[in-house]
Amino acid sequence: MSNQRENVVLKASELSKSFSVLGTSDLKVLDEVNLTLKQSSSLSIRGDSGCGKTTLLNLLARLEPADGGTIFWGDIEIAAASQTHAMEASWRAKHIGVVYQSYYLIPELTVMENVLMSVRLSGLPITEYEGRAKELLEQMGVVNKSMQIPAKLSGGERQRVAIVRALVNRPQVILADEPTGNLDERTGAEVMDLLLSSCTKEKTSLILVTHNPTFARATNETSTLTDGKLIYE
């Protein structure tokens, strides 16, 4: 196997996805999408609202099945139309960090407990990651909220906590869906610096969905999702 092949951490081949729309034919949002992500690299995806960017991230993370195609998590080949099984969920928790638009923080848990949940699900020792969690929360300006529950936080603070949760266990791949969408310009720039620095310092790879052209241009590769096709620029 060549070094080039070994450096590929995530690959999608001919991913397709359609949704049934009442009274009309099926709406195809992804049409045989191909994507390759190498170690320490970053890819931005732009496109109109509703074009399928979030759906693509969900398929790559195996949070929902595709209609067809193949996904490779490193050397693991997955039929994208199959249902996720327990082994995949365990692997995803350890190797993929996801930043959702809607945060998905557990309301009954404190900020610190939410951040460390990905570590717990990965089966990693919590005590070894508490210091890193505190450091990342401090970088994001929310370390003073560590013992509060999500309901006590603003939308921007919840977003920053969600970003820390995605980064804390040093995943191989980060899938970030509009991670700066609820943040002011300065904080958004700080988040982008943190995400991109993880690519260089920790050999993490990043797929960034964003409407912000400045942030999109900061990644190694840029692309646009249009008419179901991912077009590299």
Q: In the structure encoding, which two tokens stand for residue 188, read together?
A: 């958004």
| pLDDT, tens digit only, all 233 positions of the chain | 333 456 999 999 999 999 987 766 688 999 999 999 999 999 999 999 999 999 999 999 999 999 999 999 988 888 888 877 777 777 888 899 999 888 899 999 999 999 999 898 888 899 999 999 999 999 999 999 999 999 999 989 999 999 999 999 999 999 999 999 888 898 899 999 999 999 999 999 999 999 999 999 999 999 999 999 999 98
User: Would you state the CATH architecture of domain 40-62+89-232?
Assistant: 3-Layer(aba) Sandwich (3.40)
Q: Domain segments of the chain: what residues?
A: 40-62+89-232
Residue pair 36/8 in contact (Cβ under 8 Å)? The answer is yes
Q: Which of 11, 7, 52 has the alpha carbon at shortest distance from 30?
A: 52
Q: In the structure encoding, which two tokens stand for residue 43, read together?
A: 């890819």
